[in-house]
Amino acid sequence: MKKFIALFLAALMLVSFAACDSSDDAKADFKVGAIYINSKNDTAGYTFAHHSGITEAMKQLGLDVETQLFIVDEVPEDKEKVLAAIDTLVGQGVDIIFGISFGYIDAMEEAATKYPDVVFSHGTGYKSNETNFNNYFGRAYQARYLSGIAAGLKSLATGNNNVGYVAAYGTEYAETASGINGFALGVQAVNPDAKVYVKKLGAWADEVNESAFAKELINSFGCGIIAQHCDSAQPQIAAQDANVFGCGYNSDMTPDAPSAHLTAAIWNWDVYYKTAMETAMGCEASEFVTKMGSSAYYGGLKENFVDVSPLSANCVAGTDDAIAKVRELIVKGEWDVFSGVKLSITVADGVATVAKADADLKDNAGNVIVAAGGASVEDGVITGTMNYYVAGVQEA
């Protein structure tokens, strides 16, 4: 009887292991699907950053990008077209589908019910279920603050307090508002007299207007630095053409505008993609959300999920030291961007000094968001209901 029980328990262990198999055989059979809003051949910007993250994660896991990655690209935020892309990928036998654009969320939600044996992982957003559908984003506002430091120091050096920002949207989405606010607070920590002028596109990607709006901010508002929350490097190229400076987004845009670009708030998307793929390989689709530990992934500087790109030679001496010291405060949990504690950053002889002071965090209408000394705004506000600009930000 004891021998029978031992054999039964051994068999049970084998069954359990098979349900969470991450062996070489599981890797060989695993297929990754991705839906992109722009071309998979982009060389900079949002889609490029996601594609680089997915392929890098696959390489780290020993997966073959050529035979195990299936992509449907240039898919607009149209539910029927996203559903068609999903059907295509499911027909190719993928085990997990990454949808990288906010407007894919309703289609992904519907498809997760239709295809319960496939994992659906949606970039940004707020919808999920308890089994095979999650969303992922990160604390981009932390990286925005760091890039704002670089912009603020450059604005002091040039004597120009006007900073432009080409944004996909403004206060309509917490994703854009929190990024704009984080950047502005970083600029103001160095240059309290700086003003940030926001020009909205009304679309996540619009290369023609990304360039045109940057030029308008330079010519009509006298902006000496151009930041952005949009997909391409066009705002940085426009800054270079006008002999001003800029901070990009999603990927290092120094190669696109070598004489203008300072640094970019970037994503290390491979950090998430590796975790998600590894989890999906090791369990049934119905267990994915449970195995991930949450239906929403929200990493930041601490997890190396967000950061800034290598500083270019256009940056002011000491920018690296200032950014390093603020990054350390955030990573150690000693301070965060949207708190009632203001940082004041000065640089002398290439060495930065970072001072803290309790101060009300106010919006641009004068309302107190966080009282002096108060804890940082809650994550739910940053990701969902931050529908205001901080003081010093205005729409152009």
What pLDDT digit, counting tens, does each position of 298-326 carry?
A: 999 999 999 999 999 999 999 999 999 99
Coil vs helix vs strand at 138: strand
In a 10 Å sphere around its CB, with 0-12 CB exposed, 13-18 middle and 19+ buried, how is residue 160 labelled?
middle
Mean predicted confidence (pLDDT) in 366-391:
96
Overall average pLDDT of the 350-357 stretch: 98
pLDDT at position 125 is: 82
**pLDDT, the chain, mean:** 93
Spelled out in words, what is the top-level CATH class assigned to the domain 2-139+269-299?
alpha beta
pLDDT confidence tier of residue 8, bands split at 50, 70 and 90: very low
Going by C-alpha positions, the residue among 322, 328, 375, 313 that lies closest to residue 345 is 322
- Give mean pLDDT, residues 375-387: 94
pLDDT in tens, 88-122: 999 999 999 999 999 999 999 999 999 999 999 99
59-92: b (≥16 Cβ within 10 Å) or e: eebebeeeebbbbbbebebeeebbbebbeebbee
Alpha carbons 32 and 189: distance in angstroms, whole number? 43
Q: pTM value?
A: 0.88
Of 21-35, 132-146, 218-232, least confident by mean pLDDT is 21-35
CATH code, residues 140-267+306-395: 3.40.50.2300
pLDDT of residue 11: 38
- What six digits make up the tokens of 386? 């931050």
Determine the pLDDT at residue 7. 36
Whether residue 359 has pLDDT greater than 90 = yes
CA 55/CA 53 separation, integer angstroms? 6
Please compute, for residue 106, the number of CA atoms within 13 A of its CA located in the half-sphere on the CB side. Answer: 6
What confidence category does residue 18 fall into, taking pLDDT thresholds of 50, 70 and 90? very low
Residue 23: per-residue pLDDT: 60
d(CA 263, CA 381): 27
Which residue, 364, 299, 310, 274, is CA-closest to 141? 299
CATH 3.40.50.2300 residue ranges of the chain are 2-139+269-299, 140-267+306-395
